[in-house]
Amino acid sequence: MNKETMLTIKSKYFNKLKGGYPLLFKEAIVNLNDLKEEGTLLKLVDEQKRFIGKGYYGKQNKGYGWILTRKEQEKIDYAFFENQIKKAIEHRKSFFNDHETNAFRFFNGEGDGIGGFTIDYFDGYLLLNWYSEGIYQFKQPIVEALQSSIEYKGIYEKKRFDQKGQYIEDDDFLAGERAQFPLIVKENGVHFAVYLNDGAMVGVFLDQRGVRKSIRDHHAEGKTVLNTFSYTGAFSVFAALGGAVKTTSVDLANRSLNKTIEQFSLNGLDYEAHDIRVMDVFNYFKYAVRNNLKFDMVILDPPSFARSKKHRFSVAKDYKDLIKEAIAITENGGMIVASTNFAGFDMKKFKSFVEKAFKEMNGTYKLIEDHSLPADFKTIREFPEGDYLKVLFIKKIKG
Ligand code: SAH
């Protein structure tokens, strides 16, 4: 197994880390220079040599690794990984038995006891996401534990730990049999075409399952829908299946056109009855205002950071203005669905952006629904940052 290093933690962080906070952050570490090779096992003690826990060194965003256990006797070995994976499977029992949905997250990093990697399940195919070089050093015991715990058709992996924390281009196939792509999976009876070996993104973001269902089941009937940052058009497809009279999907990426046509067609929808536009969302807003276009529903799901030719967008700075753009083209009585996966602010702050945006537009609104991560994206109370998804259904009264 991997090497072990003793890591000293500033005593003022003893309670926080002993109390369940799983991420090893830089300010807490006294002997940073002793961290050499990622994947090194760590025994954490504070400045008074009080035992805190055991974990590993792996650089990910702002973190330097994750605490895996607070039991001094527990070993970080094959049995440990197997145990955590078995518990994760147990927690997803209802998903494994669901006939309408066969795509879900079945291991969610620190939420399931091991920070640094996730596993998604796509109709028998498993997709591992490794978020640091450090956790990747445990690939062998983790994959073996996985193979002994679950029946699967094939395993794919994504290494998301180049110098900027980005995806490393590779053949992502790992074990079992290769899938035929597109792999067609189901979510609440709706089909998605998924590609597990074609870059960082596979075609669907599983964490939005509850939002898609709510749009289809409660909010789409008879409505015109604008879906911005639409990617493969997942929200549009659910809205159309829920009876939307027309959807308009807008995304800058060339791939989005074919991918959106594919998702519509897969579900027996006539894509020609809908609008799919490859263009900058910010230009589309201008176009809509110029042409007096208004929608019954406007969906906002931007990436946390985006750069186009003319625009630099960051949700932390610019979300309020994005909502204002949406207010301007939403009918009175219509709905804005505002979403973000940015972990840097919480729901309270997100709601304050909505408040400010309507205020600046002299408008009024009512919050109708809010969503956070679904149950398969298991999170822990001690790590609220892990519960990153925030979605608000905002009814525009006027503005
Ligand atoms: N809402 C999607 C996921 C969005 S992912 C879903 O539910 O599946 C973010 C998308 O935003 C990407 O497809 C990216 O191409 C697109 N994007 C980023 N900046 C953009 C911009 N300025 N205009 C339009 N699309 C943009």
Per DSSP, the residues of 173-185 read: EEEE-PPPSSEEE
Residue 291 has pLDDT above 80, yes or no: yes
Residue 299 has pLDDT above 70, yes or no: yes
Residue 340 has pLDDT above 70, yes or no: yes
Is residue 348 within 8 Å of 188, Cβ to Cβ? no
DSSP annotation string for 281-292? HHHHHHHHHHTT
**172-192 pLDDT, tens digit each:** 999 999 999 999 999 999 999
Tell me how far apart the alpha carbons of residues 181 and 130 are, in angstroms, rounded to a whole number.
22
CATH 2.30.130.10 fits 4-69, yes or no: yes
Residue nearest to atom 15 of ligand 1 (CA): 253
**What's residue 376's pLDDT?**
98
Residue nearest to atom 13 of ligand 1 (CA): 231
> Which amino acid, residue 239?
A
> Which amino acid, residue 59?
K
Environment class of 49 (CB within 10 Å of its CB; exposed 0-12, middle 13-18, buried 19+): exposed
Tell me how far apart the alpha carbons of residues 277 and 287 are, in angstroms, rounded to a whole number.
12
- State which of 185, 205, 251 you would mutate to test the pocket of ligand 1, scoring each by most atoms of that ligand within 8 A of its C-beta: 251
- State which of 211, 252, 287 you would mutate to test the pocket of ligand 1, scoring each by most atoms of that ligand within 8 A of its C-beta: 252
- Give the start-to-end residue ranges of the domains of the chain: 4-69, 78-194, 206-398
Nearest to 110, CA basis, from 376, 343, 383: 383
Distances in whole angstroms, Cα of residue 124 to Cα of each of 65, 155, 196, 357: 30, 9, 12, 44
Nearest to 299, CA basis, from 240, 226, 216: 226
**What's residue 302's pLDDT?**
97
Give the number of the atom of ligand 1 that is nearest the alpha carbon of residue 308: 22
Between the CA of 230 and the centroid of ligand 1 the distance, in Å, is 5
pTM value is: 0.96
**Average per-residue pLDDT for the chain:** 96
Q: Say which range, 20-24, 27-31, 312-316, 333-337, has the weakest mean pLDDT.
A: 312-316
Residue nearest to atom 12 of ligand 1 (CA): 231
SS3 (DSSP) at 157: strand
Is residue 312 within 8 Å of 352, Cβ to Cβ? no
Pairing label, strands 183-187, 364-371: unpaired
Residue 1 has pLDDT above 70, yes or no: no
Annotation: CATH topology of 78-194: Transcription Regulator spoIIAA (3.30.750)
Between the CA of 399 and the centroid of ligand 1 the distance, in Å, is 26
Q: Can you list the alpha helix ranges (DSSP code H) found in the chain?
A: 14-18, 78-91, 93-96, 133-136, 139-149, 209-214, 234-241, 255-266, 281-290, 315-328, 347-360
CA 179 to chain centre: 23
Tell me how far apart the alpha carbons of residues 148 and 94 are, in angstroms, rounded to a whole number.
20
DSSP annotation string for 107-128? EEGGGGT-TTEEEEEETTEEEE
**117-139 pLDDT, tens digit each:** 999 999 999 999 999 999 999 99
Averaged pLDDT for residues 228-250? 98
Q: Half-sphere exposure of 370 toward its Cβ, with a 13 Å CA cutoff? A: 12
Residue nearest to atom 11 of ligand 1 (CA): 229
Residue 310 has pLDDT above 90, yes or no: no
Give the number of the atom of ligand 1 that is nearest the alpha carbon of residue 229: 11
Q: Which two tokens stand for residue 189?
A: 């009876």
Q: Which residues line ligand 1 (CB under 6 A)?
A: 205, 208, 229-232, 234-235, 250-253, 256, 280-282, 301, 303, 306, 308, 311
Residue 3 has pLDDT above 90, yes or no: no
Is residue 357 within 8 Å of 320, Cβ to Cβ? yes
Is residue 237 within 8 Å of 259, Cβ to Cβ? no
CATH top-level class of 206-398:
alpha beta
